[in-house]
C-alpha cells in the first residue's frame, strides 16, 4: 500500500498542472516512511515508466484535507524544471504552518481536547496528535492512544489518519491505538469506516479492527471495553501480552518490556490501573499468569507467577 501511494504521488507531482502541494506535504509528514518511499521512486527516473500501473493510482486522503476528493488520472512527464518546485515543496513541513498544531502527552499523563465542532478527543499517555486550527473535522494520530467522541455530520464526516490508513466516522465513539507494531481501533457507538476510498470496511459498535505485520483482522469487542483506560482499567479479549504491555506503559508511565514467551501469552480480563507501579504489578502480573520484576529503571514481564520485587 505504501509503494502504491508513493507511486501515485510521484505520478501526480510530475504533472505540469499539479497544484496540490499542500496535500502532498501533509502526506509526507503523516509518516516518517513516506518521504523515503517517495524519494526512492523519484530516484528511479529511468525505470519509472515500467512501474506505472495500467489503472490510475488514488492516494489515501491526507489528514486535514478540507475538500471533497476529486482525483483524476495524471499523465507522465519528464523534465528538470519540476524538480526545483518539488524541492521547495519538500522543504515546507507541517511545523511551518501556523494552522497545524501538535498536542502531546507524557507517559502516564492524559489530556482532553474540545474541538470547535463539538468533538472531544481524550489522549492517553505517550500520545502525539496533530490538529488543524482551520478545520476541526480532521486529525492525525502519530503515536499513542486517543478516544474520539465525534459530533456526526453526514455532509462533513470527521476523519482521522493513522499512518497510511484513514478512519471516517458515521456518528461515533471510538478509540484508536497506534504503536510501533500495530494500529487498533474499537468502536463503542455509531460506526467507523476504515479506508473509505479503498477497502471501505464498516465497523459498527461492538466491532474492532487490528492492522499489524500479520495483516488486517476484524473482530468483536465489548463496547464497554473501548477506551476503558478513561475509567482506570484495561479490558481485553484474547489479547497478546506484547500489546498489553505497551498499553500498560502508556497508561501508568513506566518503561515495560516482556520476554518473548510472556509477550506471546494471551489474556482475557480486566486490569485495574494504578500509578504505583509496585502495587499495580503485584495485582496485574498474577492476573495474567506472569511475574513482574524490576529491571534497571523499568519493569520486565516474564513467565511464571511470582510476586513482583
**What's residue 3's pLDDT?**
66
Indicate yes or no: pTM above 0.75: no
> What whole-number distance in Å separates Cα of residue 197 and Cα of residue 183?
18
**What's residue 291's pLDDT?**
95
What is the 3-state secondary structure of 133-198?
Answer: CCEEEEEEEEEEEEEEECCCCCCCCCEEEECCEEEEECCCEEEEEECCCEEEEEEEECEEEECCCC
The closest of 63, 66, 51, 62 to 14, measured between CA atoms, is 51
Q: Which residues pair with 233 in a beta bridge?
A: 272
- Residue finishing a domain among 225, 252, 280: 225
Q: Quickly state the pLDDT bin for 57 (edges 50, 70, 90).
A: very low
Kindly state whether residue 309 falls inside one of the protein's structural domains. no
Q: Which residues pair with 167 in a beta bridge?
A: 160, 194
Q: Which residue has the higher pLDDT, 115 or 72?
A: 115
> What whole-number distance in Å separates Cα of residue 293 and Cα of residue 278?
9
Q: Which residue has the higher pLDDT, 87 or 143?
A: 143
**What's residue 206's pLDDT?**
94
CATH number of the domain where residue 118 is located: 2.60.120.1440
CATH number of the domain where residue 286 is located: 3.55.50.30
Q: Which residues pair with 129 in a beta bridge?
A: 103, 141
**What's residue 6's pLDDT?**
73
Kindly state whether residue 273 falls inside one of the protein's structural domains. yes
Whether residues 219 and 237 share a domain: the answer is no
Q: What percentage of residues in the chain have a pLDDT greater than 90?
A: 50
Whether residues 217 and 236 share a domain: the answer is no
Whether residues 183 and 266 share a domain: the answer is no
Whether residues 209 and 238 share a domain: the answer is no
**What's residue 84's pLDDT?**
32
Once rounded to an integer, what is the mean pLDDT over residues 12-32?
71
**What's residue 188's pLDDT?**
95
> What whole-number distance in Å separates Cα of residue 31 and Cα of residue 165?
11
How many folded domains does the chain comprise? Answer: 3
Once rounded to an integer, what is the mean pLDDT over residues 43-71?
41
- Residue finishing a domain among 170, 205, 225: 225
CA dihedral for 274, 279, 283, 289, sign (positive or negative):
positive
- Radius of gyration, alpha carbons of the chain: 21
Whether residues 263 and 196 share a domain: the answer is no
Q: Is the pLDDT of residue 23 over 60?
A: yes
Once rounded to an integer, what is the mean pLDDT over residues 183-200?
91
- Residue finishing a domain among 36, 66, 96: 96
Kindly state whether residue 253 falls inside one of the protein's structural domains. yes
Strand 182-189 relative to strand 207-212: parallel, antiparallel, unpaired? antiparallel
The whole domain housing 262 covers: 232-303
Kindly state the cell numbers that stand for 264: 506471546
> What whole-number distance in Å separates Cα of residue 160 and Cα of residue 135?
12
Strand 159-162 relative to strand 165-169: parallel, antiparallel, unpaired? antiparallel
Q: Quickly state the pLDDT bin for 193 (edges 50, 70, 90).
A: very high
Whether residues 201 and 107 share a domain: the answer is yes
Q: Is the pLDDT of residue 69 over 80?
A: no
Task: Cite the DSSP H helix spans in the chain.
Answer: 2-13, 21-30, 34-43, 48-51, 81-90, 241-252, 260-264, 277-287
- pLDDT, mean over the chain: 79
Once rounded to an integer, what is the mean pLDDT over residues 199-221?
91
**Count of CB atoms within 10 A of residue 291's CB?**
19
Q: What is the DSSP letter of 55?
A: S
Q: Is the pLDDT of residue 183 over 90?
A: yes
Whether residues 283 and 243 share a domain: the answer is yes
Lowest mean pLDDT among 16-20, 159-163, 255-259: 16-20
Amino acid at each position: 500500500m505504501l509503494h502504491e501511494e508513493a507511486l501515485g504521488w510521484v505520478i501526480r507531482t510530475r504533472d505540469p498542472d499539479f497544484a496540490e502541494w499542500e496535500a502532498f506535504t501533509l502526506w509526507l509528514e503523516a509518516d516518517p516512511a513516506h518521504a523515503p518511499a517517495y524519494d526512492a521512486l523519484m530516484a528511479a527516473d529511468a525505470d519509472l515508466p515500467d512501474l506505472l500501473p495500467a489503472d490510475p493510482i488514488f492516494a489515501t486522503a491526507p489528514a486535514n484535507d478540507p475538500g471533497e476528493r476529486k482525483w483524476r488520472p495524471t499523465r507522465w512527464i519528464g523534465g528538470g524544471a519540476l524538480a526545483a518546485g518539488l524541492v521547495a515543496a519538500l522543504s515546507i513541513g507541517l511545523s511551518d504552518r501556523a494552522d497545524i498544531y501538535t498536542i502531546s502527552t507524557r507517559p502516564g499523563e492524559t489530556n482532553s481536547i474540545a474541538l470547535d465542532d463539538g468533538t472531544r478527543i481524550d489522549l492517553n499517555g505517550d500520545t502525539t496528535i496533530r490538529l488543524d486550527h482551520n478545520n476541526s473535522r480532521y486529525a492525525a494520530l502519530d503515536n499513542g492512544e486517543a478516544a474520539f467522541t465525534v459530533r456526526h455530520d453526514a455532509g462533513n464526516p470527521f476523519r482521522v489518519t493513522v499512518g497510511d490508513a484513514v478512519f471516517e466516522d458515521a456518528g461515533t465513539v471510538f478509540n484508536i491505538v497506534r504503536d510501533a507494531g500495530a494500529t487498533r481501533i474499537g468502536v463503542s457507538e455509531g460506526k467507523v469506516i476504515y479506508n473509505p476510498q479503498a477497502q471501505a470496511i464498516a465497523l459498527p459498535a461492538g466491532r474492532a479492527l487490528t492492522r499489524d505485520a500479520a495483516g488486517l483482522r476484524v473482530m468483536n469487542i465489548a463496547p464497554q471495553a473501548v477506551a476503558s483506560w478513561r475509567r482506570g482499567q484495561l479490558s481485553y479479549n484474547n489479547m497478546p501480552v506484547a500489546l498489553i504491555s505497551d498499553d500498560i506503559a502508556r497508561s501508568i508511565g513506566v518503561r515495560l518490556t516482556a520476554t518473548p514467551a510472556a509477550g506471546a501469552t494471551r489474556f482475557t480480563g480486566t486490569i485495574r490501573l494504578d500509578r504505583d507501579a509496585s502495587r499495580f504489578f503485584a495485582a496485574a502480573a498474577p492476573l495474567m499468569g506472569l511475574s513482574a520484576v524490576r529491571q534497571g529503571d523499568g519493569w520486565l514481564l516474564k513467565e511464571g507467577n511470582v510476586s513482583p520485587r
